[in-house]
A and B are shown apart, each in its own frame.
Chain A
Amino acid sequence: MRSRDASTPRTPSRRSKRFRETSLAYVMLAPSLVIFAIFVFYPFIKNFTFPFYQTSTAGGFGAFANESKPKWVGWEQWGAVLGSRDFWHSVWVTVQFVGLTVPLGIALGLLLAVIAHQKLAGITFYRTIFSSTVASSAAVASTIFFSLVGTQTGLWKLQINGHGILDDKTWALPAIAVVSIWQSLGLSFIVMSSGLQAIPDDLLEAARVDGAGASRRFLRVTLPLLSPTVFFAFVVGSISAFKTFAEIDLLNPIGKETGGTSLLAYQVKRLAFDSDSRTGQAAVFAVGLFAIVLMLTLIQMRLERRVHYAR
């Protein structure tokens, strides 16, 4: 490339200008890079080293270390956790939870979006109501739910098989799924609404003139054109549901013993922080969760092109 260099010589002033611009860019990026490095990149990489060490009831690890040193155990702990009934039970419970919350959340969000998409008087009021759960966190949603169905103090004291619904081995997970669906419904509604609004009116008008009734218009035109949105909501919703933690932590007084609601993210917290600080085991759970979410993301990237329609 000698010829190009000869034709466009880099003068010192141009080079220094480039250097100044690049430096400025890094200076501007520095604050967020530092925050990311400390709170995301470092813990993320560090987590992969934890499973190689064992910590005991007496000994913490890393940031939670006390006097006793963690013991190097190599791949042994990986094998022990990944081969354990607890881990796979937790994966199964998490998959059940995702399977309950995501499709129902999307279906309800879509239903509300279709209702709100009608040209009706006062629909703006309902749109606001429908999207309002966006403003409440999982903690708020859990507290509201607990104050309604809580065994001791709840307004309804919902009973199943003679005890509170949250204490029931079978029904605690669906009950918590209800909270999670309610809390994510606002976002699901907003995403579905924006998807509906992106469908040109004249396509649906053309379908009307072509003789399609309301259900055919929905199934043959609206739904296929909405599929990229549904797919997006499905992937993002699944990732978010796989990481569910707060609802379980706040609502399952018994699940942590019975394992009925032992979702992966919750198990990570329980192993690492509760009673005996089994950080190494928690880290394997965390890597397992990461692998599942990574897989979902890769599937999304592969399938994304298939559900998009060029106009």
Chain B
Amino acid sequence: MSSVTFENVTKRFGEIAAVDALNLEVHDHEFLVLLGPSGCGKSTALRMIAGLDEPSEGDIRIGARVVNDVDPKDRDIAMVFQSYALYPHMTVRKNIEFPLDARKQPAAERAELVSGAAESLGLTDYLDRKPAQLSGGQRQRVALARAIVRRPSVFLMDEPLSNLDAKLRVQTRVELVELQRDLATTLIYVTHDQIEAMTMGDRIAIMRDGRLQQVGPPQDVYDNPANRFVAEFIGTPPMNTFAATAEAGRLLVGESVLQLAGHLRASVPDGPIIAGVRPEHFELADGAHATADSLSATAVLVESLGHERHIHCRLDSSDVVIARAAASEVCPAVGAPLRLIVDPQRIHAFNGDTGASYALA
């Protein structure tokens, strides 16, 4: 069993709680992504699993064992650092061998494991080079090889792709997912990049200011964000949020009116709220065609990405939203009046003060 559990874990640095009352269970063999902006506490949480930081309160378990006071070397974990943390004075071979050497494994066994790990990551030709003689991608592979070489039960990765160029990042993303599947171990992966989180994780855990915001499979988090922060953090471009007034199962946005779907009608109280719609859930229509369930708007900017367009529209409540449209659709002229049609099922409603989603209320 190599599940990892946070039980009410708090980590304070002086007065500041970097991680605040975290409860989270990472299942055995799961790929969990800890996602959040810088300073949200995700790296601190990872370092606590590694044993590099001690929790101020609460327990961390690896499997059934509480590891709060267990030395990093006795936790059966391996970690890949953002900087890769390769030993610059050692060859690639010595770097990969280091964890085995530190555990005093016999030389013959070590050599076999090192060549196995090097081969699986395409490093065989580089074993006698020093890290400085390698490219960024190769260094990253050495760091991975050093982590997998002794088959730990939990892998920890702290933004391992952030130093790679965009193309290599996409390629390595796929390889990491495959690697985790092949090794069949638990992997906890820290990133601030929501695309990495969406594409790699079995589940993602989103943090902000030391607090866990939401945990769930990527699509689930995307479709049903627990609060406005998650809604705006996940997705490119992020979910549009705009001021609206709820009144008897309808939303008033300036002069426009949107119907709320059944599941929200009961939970959204009358009064001011924050409404949310993802850019791809706006359907553009000519401004002359007044329809129900649509917002009247004016196009203010059109960004073309080749395969699609992002149309920035000002609502008559003066909020600006982005609508995503296929490149094949007719492109609206800047300044032209539009209507943005929304399926009531696609509307999100958040508490204006707490940001919490009414869908979960």
Contacts and interface: CB of A to CB of B under 8 A. Distances in A.
B77 interface: yes
B85 interface: yes
Nearest to A217: B102
A211 to B, nearest CB: 4
Interface residues of A, number: 20
Interface stretch (A178-186, A199-207, A256-264): A199-207
A212 B52 contact: no
A45 interface: no
Interface-centre pick from B50, B79, B88 (highest chain A CB count, 10 A): B88
A207 B73 CA distance: 9
A46 interface: no
B132 A209 contact: no
A208 B52 contact: yes
A307 to B, nearest CB: 9
B87 A216 contact: no
Contacts of B51: 208-209
Given A210-B98, A210-B102, A310-B88, A205 B52 contact: yes
B213 to A, nearest CB: 27
Contact of B85 (A205, A213, A216): A205
Interface in B230-279: none
B85 A212 contact: no
Contacts of A213: 73, 102
Interface in A38-90: none
A202 B50 CA distance: 12
Nearest to A216: B102
A206 B158 CA distance: 12
Given A205-B52, A225-B88, A309-B88, A212 B83 contact: no
Contact of A212 (B50, B73, B77): B73
Interface-centre pick from A200, A208, A210 (highest chain B CB count, 10 A): A210
Contacts of B71: 208
B99 A210 contact: yes
- In the A-B complex, the 8 residue pairs with the smallest Cβ-Cβ separation, listed nearest first, are A310-B132, A206-B85, A211-B102, A211-B73, A210-B99, A309-B88, A202-B85, A212-B102
19 contacts: A200-B85, A202-B81, A202-B83, A202-B85, A205-B52, A206-B81, A208-B52, A208-B72, A209-B50, A210-B73, A211-B73, A212-B73, A212-B102, A213-B102, A220-B87, A225-B88, A309-B130, A309-B132, A310-B88
Interface of A: 200, 202-203, 205-213, 216, 220-221, 224-225, 309-311
Interface of B: 50-52, 71-73, 77-79, 81-83, 85, 87-89, 98-99, 102-103, 130-132, 146
Given A200-B83, A220-B87, 17 more contacts: A203-B85, A203-B87, A205-B50, A207-B98, A208-B51, A208-B73, A209-B50, A209-B72, A209-B79, A211-B73, A211-B103, A212-B73, A213-B73, A309-B89, A310-B130, A310-B132, A311-B88
